[in-house]
Structure 1
Amino acid sequence: MTLHGPVTRRGLLKLGAGVAATAALAPAAATAAGAAGRFDLTAPSTSLIWKKALYDETVMQSFTIDNVHGHIYTVQVRNGSGSNAAGHLCLTKLSLTGAILGHMYLQGFGHGVQIGVEPSGAAAYLWTETDGVSDDGSSRGTRLARFKFVNGQTLTTSSTALTKYTLIAGATNTTCAIDPSTDRLIMRYWDGSAFRFAVYALSAVKSGTPEPLHDVAQPSGLGTFQGYAAYGDFAYILTGNAYGDANPAPGNTYVTSLDLRTGQQIQRARSVAGKSLDYREPEGMAIQIVSGAPRLCLGLASGLSGARLASIFYKTELV
């Protein structure tokens, strides 16, 4: 792989356990009751999906959750791409129980480090990196793209189905996530010397008038970057590596909270979610909304090479 949250505190944990089965069978509420507070990264995690196959058999790179229609979208390097530098990706649509509902192929887009989804009527529009360029044996996007999910469709970087966005001139390694509680787009990018997070109103991006609400540096020394999500004023950064001789169980997977207003690192905690998985590489984050309450989700890849599987866990407790 990659180189690279007003609700009672304890009550949310109980709520998360009580609605898990319902959330797996029906679409979640579209918006949170409010985007106040931040997630307690030391709270326990609960499984949403466990060791599910995706459309292709490679490692899940990231995922996002459509809270209106009740779907999960994952992205991974496409089977048979030959080299990660090609930037060819497979997008899989899943139910909330992990059943495959469809797929798309994205040719030359990048590495899929993080993606977002924008529900619109009966449709879902994905937000991804695009116009990937080779970077140290991988591919990294240089712009953002919005496109409608159409099952079975293959898109290239020149497809008319894409709407492309350049939010910061000269930025590279561009990826994005969407905060469903605020309808904001969060873009992570490289400015030539450091990675940063810029926050925009999604409506302003789409209208062609993107003015950043915040723009802060990513904290240094976090480890191998693996994805991010945002809820209200805070971003959550996932880092770590797959299990191995130099990284035995329970591994070095950490989640860090970042105040998007000030750039201050607020909390950092190791995650042992899914610690029994083999391989276990952290991959991607997302926000799920269930009955108005938010969940901070993180992804994990497992399984053998050529038969990788995806698991997703979530935290519910806010402080």
Structure 2
Amino acid sequence: MTDPLESAARPTHSRRSLLTGGIKLAAGAAVLGGGSLLAASPAYAAVPDSPKFYLPGAGGNPVLRQTLHQPNWAMQSFAYDSVNENIYFAQHKVGSDTGDLWLSKTDLFGKVLSTMAIHGFGHGSSMGVETAGAGNSPYIWIESHSVNDAGTRIARFRWVDDGTLETTSSSIYNRTPTVSSFAHSPRPAIDTHYDRVLFRYHSGSATRPWRIAVFTLADAVAGRLSDGYRLTERAIPTNQELGLTDADSFQGITSCGRYAYLIFGGPNRSSYLVTLDLNDTGSSYVEKFLTNAGESLPGREAQGIAIWRLNGAPRLAFGYSSKITSTEPDTFESSVFYKSEFSA
């Protein structure tokens, strides 16, 4: 499903802009930040070097065609609480513009354990999970305060089994970035291996509008999200610069150390994984990889990417929504694949 601000806000982009083994791989509008891209701002440091995932490398498929809490709502994103061995999924109702989402807490194989209903938050196109320790409910990071089904802020709130949450709740912490290049449409992701938070957001630029800024988890939790606290910031290449078409929709972002990883692909279309160096700039990218993971899934559509830690090692997990059209309404299923190898 398409994040509604992607097409309106991206004139040069697309329309929307474990276990080892198992099935083998086939190989979005409030302005809160102010300022312009040319405004002076404090310098920031480079992200230290780290290993880079080898995108053609080996992996697995721990979640295969699982039905989440609401079978007629499509998965949009997911994230891991690796300490407690849970995955959290966000689902959105097809065709709805209310910003209502279902969140499902599952085991590592996608079996639903509990849920939350969150009302008026947005499309759910990216999320993060901040682990609060063994046996404790984590904090969810996700877009909130929806306008026409697109979140305008970032909410941080504690997970409550079978809970319901409104955007007016006093339990929500506003963690919207305030860097000078921020215009609207923030989306979060958490690097659970290096304890950092990445925000993807629209800068207001017409030529290369989408940017990412990275903060330490400690600063982001404390709300220190201005220029002086960012570890790094850079533009995301446009679809044209990545050699993709307008139909190759942006479907998620995460980071692990020095590198950000993006997933692209529309319904029943090719799917691509893209690596960016967080210390680089502009149109640059490290790698674009055409993945055939889940290519036999009916109505396959890329949806979400996240870091999963197992036995202390990070994995790059990426997801797909699939659709059964013989039911009325359509039934949606969720699958998750991963990459576990690093480049030499």
Q: Where on the TM-score scale, by shorter chain, does this alignment land: which range? A: 0.7 to 0.9
Asked if the contact 2:137–2:160 (Cα under 8 Å) also holds between the matched residues in 1, the reply is: no
One-letter identity of the residue aligned with 1:173: S
What is aligned with 1:127? 141
Q: TM-score, normalised by structure 1?
A: 0.84
One-letter identity of the residue aligned with 1:313: F
What is aligned with 2:237? 219
Superposed CA offset, 1:86-117 (max 9, x none): 11110000001211101101111111111000
Cα distance in structure 2, aligned partners of 1:232 and 1:281: 27
Superposed CA offset, 1:286-317 (max 9, x none): 11111122110100111225310000000111
Cα distance in structure 2, aligned partners of 1:183 and 1:227: 19
Superposed CA offset, 1:135-156 (max 9, x none): xxxx221111111110121111
What is aligned with 1:159? 169
Asked if the contact 1:62–1:114 (Cα under 8 Å) also holds between the matched residues in 2, the reply is: yes
Q: Which residues of 2 match residues 54-69 of structure 1 at below 5 A?
A: 54-57=68-71, 58-69=73-84
What is aligned with 1:30? none
- Cα distance change, pair 83–213 in 1 and its aligned pair in 2 (3 A): same
What is aligned with 1:241? 266
One-letter identity of the residue aligned with 1:128: I
Asked if the contact 1:140–1:174 (Cα under 8 Å) also holds between the matched residues in 2, the reply is: no
* 2:254 corresponds to 1:229: yes
Q: Which residues of 2 match residues 135-214 of structure 1 at below 5 A?
A: 139-168=149-178, 171-193=183-205, 194-210=209-225, 211-214=229-232
One-letter identity of the residue aligned with 1:48: P
The residue matched to 1:269 in structure 2 has which SS? strand
Structure 1 residue 45 displacement after superposition? 3.9
2:128 counterpart (116, 124, 146): 116
The residue matched to 2:190 in structure 1 has which SS? strand
Asked if the contact 2:324–2:331 (Cα under 8 Å) also holds between the matched residues in 1, the reply is: yes
Superposed CA offset, 1:153-201 (max 9, x none): 1111111121112312653111100001111100000011201111011
Q: Which residues of 2 match residues 15-26 of structure 1 at below 5 A?
A: 17=20
Cα distance in structure 1, aligned partners of 2:251 and 2:199: 14
Structure 1 residue 16 displacement after superposition? 6.7
Cα distance in structure 2, aligned partners of 1:64 and 1:187: 15
One-letter identity of the residue aligned with 1:262: D
Cα distance in structure 2, aligned partners of 1:91 and 1:116: 12
The residue matched to 2:138 in structure 1 has which SS? strand
Superposed CA offset, 1:237-277 (max 9, x none): 0000111xxxxxxx310000001111330000011001111
- Cα distance change, pair 35–288 in 1 and its aligned pair in 2 (3 A): farther
Cα distance in structure 2, aligned partners of 1:83 and 1:273: 27
Cα distance in structure 2, aligned partners of 1:35 and 1:150: 37
Q: When you count helix as a share of all residues, which structure comes out higher?
A: 1
* 2:2 corresponds to 1:2: yes
The residue matched to 1:17 in structure 2 has which SS? coil
One-letter identity of the residue aligned with 1:230: S
* 2:87 corresponds to 1:72: yes
Asked if the contact 2:298–2:322 (Cα under 8 Å) also holds between the matched residues in 1, the reply is: yes
**Structure 1 residue runs of 4 or more that deviate by more than 6 Å after TM superposition:** none
2:103 counterpart (84, 88, 91): 91
> Quick one: percent identity of the two aligned structures?
35
Cα distance in structure 2, aligned partners of 1:207 and 1:114: 21
One-letter identity of the residue aligned with 2:215: Y
One-letter identity of the residue aligned with 2:231: L
Residue-pair matches, total = 282
What is aligned with 1:31? none
Cα distance in structure 2, aligned partners of 1:265 and 1:204: 27
Cα distance in structure 2, aligned partners of 1:295 and 1:266: 18
Asked if the contact 1:35–1:231 (Cα under 8 Å) also holds between the matched residues in 2, the reply is: no
What is aligned with 1:281? 301
Unaligned segments of structure 2, at least 5 residues: 7-17, 24-47
What is aligned with 1:309? 333
One-letter identity of the residue aligned with 1:228: I
Asked if the contact 2:177–2:186 (Cα under 8 Å) also holds between the matched residues in 1, the reply is: no
Asked if the contact 2:129–2:141 (Cα under 8 Å) also holds between the matched residues in 1, the reply is: yes
Asked if the contact 2:77–2:90 (Cα under 8 Å) also holds between the matched residues in 1, the reply is: yes
Asked if the contact 2:126–2:252 (Cα under 8 Å) also holds between the matched residues in 1, the reply is: yes
* 2:57 corresponds to 1:43: yes
Asked if the contact 2:81–2:130 (Cα under 8 Å) also holds between the matched residues in 1, the reply is: yes
Superposed CA offset, 1:2-34 (max 9, x none): 244xxxxxxxxxx9737x79xxxxxxxxxxxx9
Unaligned segments of structure 1, at least 5 residues: 5-14, 22-33, 244-250
